[in-house]
Every structure is written in structure tokens, then in C-alpha cells.
Amino acid sequence: MLHQESAISLAFKAITFIVADDTLRDRFLALSGLSPDEIRANLPETTFQASILEFLVSHEPDLIAFAKDINETPEQIVKAWRTLGGGVGQEW
């Protein structure tokens, strides 16, 4: 498991990655149902940080692209997601 601070840092890198890509950003907005202002307001919430990572974890091509972009392994991103509370009940 990662330290909480490291997981939070990865979540913030993830949202930066998502909003920098028009396709990812539009899909994230559509799936979350949140406005950009609501996203900004929810960023401090651990559950929201986990949901940002879950968005990438749930689609392997995006997970791999993000991992490559930040020079990290996909496994570390999954660990960060789990550290923030993601995947409860989905132990695999």
C-alpha cells in the first residue's frame, strides 16, 4: 500500500492528465455528471480522488497512457486507488 500523500499526489496528476485531453475530459464530465466547478470543489475529498483514479483504472488503455505519461507503473496507480478507498470488495 502507498502512503496517503503519494496516492493523493497521483490523483492530482490524474485529473491534470484527464483535463488536458479533450476526449478524456469530455468522457469524465459525462460519466461523473459534474461541472468543472464541482470538480474543483470536490478535489479535496478522498472519495473523489479515488473516483478520479477509478476512471483511469476502469479503462486499461487510459491507465497505461497515464502511467506512461507520469513514468509510473499501472500497478502503482491501482495501489494509489486502493489506498484512497477504491475497489473495496473487488479484491483480485
Residue 88's contacts (CB-CB under 8 Å, 6 or more residues apart) are none
List Cβ<8 Å contacts ≥24 apart for 27-34.
28/55, 31/55
Q: What is the pLDDT of residues 50-74, one digit of tens each?
A: 999 999 999 999 999 999 999 999 9
State the average pLDDT over residues 34-46. Answer: 96
Could you give the C-alpha distances from 31 to 9, 19, 35, 39, 64, in angstroms and in order? 23, 14, 11, 12, 20
Percent of the chain with pLDDT over 70: 93
pLDDT at res. 2: 82
Q: What are the residue ranges spanned by the domains of the chain?
A: 4-83
pLDDT at res. 89: 64
pTM over 0.95: no
Pairwise pLDDT comparison (90 vs 43), residue with the higher score = 43
Q: What does the angle CA 55 – CA 61 – CA 67 come to, to the nearest 5 degrees?
A: 75
Check pLDDT > 70 for residue 43. Answer: yes
Spatial CA neighbour of 62 closest among 31, 25, 9: 25
State the average pLDDT over residues 9-17. Answer: 98
